[in-house]
Amino acid sequence: MRRTAVRLLLAVLVALATCLAGAPAQAAVPDSPAVTYTNPLAEKRADPHIFKHTDGYYYFTATVPEYDRIVLRRATTVQGLRSAPETTIWTRHASGVMGAHIWAPEIHFIDGKWYVYFAAGATNDVWAIRMYVLEGTGANPLTAAWTEKGQIRTQWESFSLDATTFVVNGVRYLAWAQRDPSVNNNTDLYLARMANPWTITGTPVMLSRPTYSWETVGYKVNEGPAVIQRGGKVFMTYSASATDSNYCLGMLTASASANLLSQASWNKSPTPVFASSAATGQYGPGHNSFTVSEDGRSDILVYHDRSYRDISGDPLDDPNRRTRVQKVYWNADGTPNFGIPVADGVTPQRFSSYNFPDRFVRHYDYRARIEANVTKLADSQFRVVPGLAGGGTVSLESANFPGYYLRHDDFEVWLQRNDGSAQLAADATFHRRAGLADPAGVSFESYSHPGRYVRHWEYLLHVQAVSTATDRADATFYAQ
């Protein structure tokens, strides 16, 4: 009796606080609705770059395991790139420079022309890696006329690669990785302004040097810069360590109004922002780029990894890096949250509360609840998969505990492992309905107890009958 009284008192206090705060009875439909893809997107394609153009097409290029050519695909959807035909737009030279190790192409559209940035060695020295640029004329880069604009010259004639370009406040920059001949490491990250799409101007600044332990496993590496901007901030991800299971992403952050050509303007995250996950079977995620969803409302992380940890021989000789994609989420403080490299198959979603829009469904100690500021992103991500009990239903599988599903147990919702029993299958299966409080949302009706829906009560999830407007609001969620 005492516990029931406390629960009722808490419910009254929560309702009173909501009224006093003047909180809206209804949340706005999320700015970034759910978007899902199926991984991997492309087998044996590393260092992927996807560019969404104004012509309605996505253009995809990547390193091929033969290291001998530059290829392009295009499709009107990200998923369509998986089966899109591939065109070779350029092949390595038979001798001399640009004759070996054709790596990490990126495609950009600048001032009415196409540009591909890539790295290459020479036939007489395959490790004399330098950065080069192709220029393409024509509406469709798969059929464009391509010319070589030559090498991007930097402050040194040394190992350099992974050029990328971006614009902040009207200024175009080039970021890249290069070896400082005076330092005993492999590559640092550099930034310079551009005079034109194949020429830098001014003195480059070194933004980041591999110093953390996670940046120096196997090799001392900072490479593969990629930029995403949001909310007046510039975020530069980069790859670190050897290209095996230790490969991971770090991140630099700067204000868009700061002097980007000052190292002091950039803050370096002390831990990786994206790394291998044994739980999902993804290893060595890295060399990423960014694109946007088909509706332009979600940011998409594009990267490569392998489906196994142990590699025989030199990782560069292993051809099985695959291109993968997954949605980028944004923390309340405006920073990107990449979570973990999700399992192969359909990518997961998040579900925000209809009447508490800053709270997301998540598991904590296996109990399901709604909670705000879930920075451990994967705790709040679920794959919507065919229902374990069948019949046109769905089940919600944990992103970071594959094989574990949301199920009701004595009408409380928990995350539990699928033990193969008919009871768990029934309890972990739901009918996906239009949102009871807003048809733009979603509600989940219990398969084994028709008429009962997943709803939050004191922020914990239960399966209960619904009758009032409050019940329907508590049982409505938005997929994000």
Q: Which residues are catalytic?
A: 47, 223
Residue tagged 């239903």 (tokens) = 393
Tokens of 461: 């999830």
Cβ atoms < 10 Å from Cβ of 432: 15
User: From start to end of 293-424, where are the E strands?
Assistant: 299-306, 322-327, 329-330, 336-337, 345-346, 351-353, 359-364, 367-372, 382-386, 394-398, 404-409, 412-417
Cα 40 from Cα 321, distance rounded (Å): 10
What type of residue sits at position 170? G
User: Would you call 413 helix, strand, or coil by DSSP?
Assistant: strand
For 190-227, give the DSSP string: EEEEEEETTEEEEEEEEEE---SGGG-SSS-BEEEEEE
Contact partners, residue 284, CB within 8 Å, separation at least 6? 243, 244, 245, 246, 247, 248, 276, 305, 306, 315, 321
Cα 109 from Cα 106, distance rounded (Å): 10
Cα 364 from Cα 380, distance rounded (Å): 9
- CB contact at 8 A, 118 and 70: yes
User: Would you call 19 helix, strand, or coil by DSSP?
Assistant: helix
- CB contact at 8 A, 226 and 237: yes
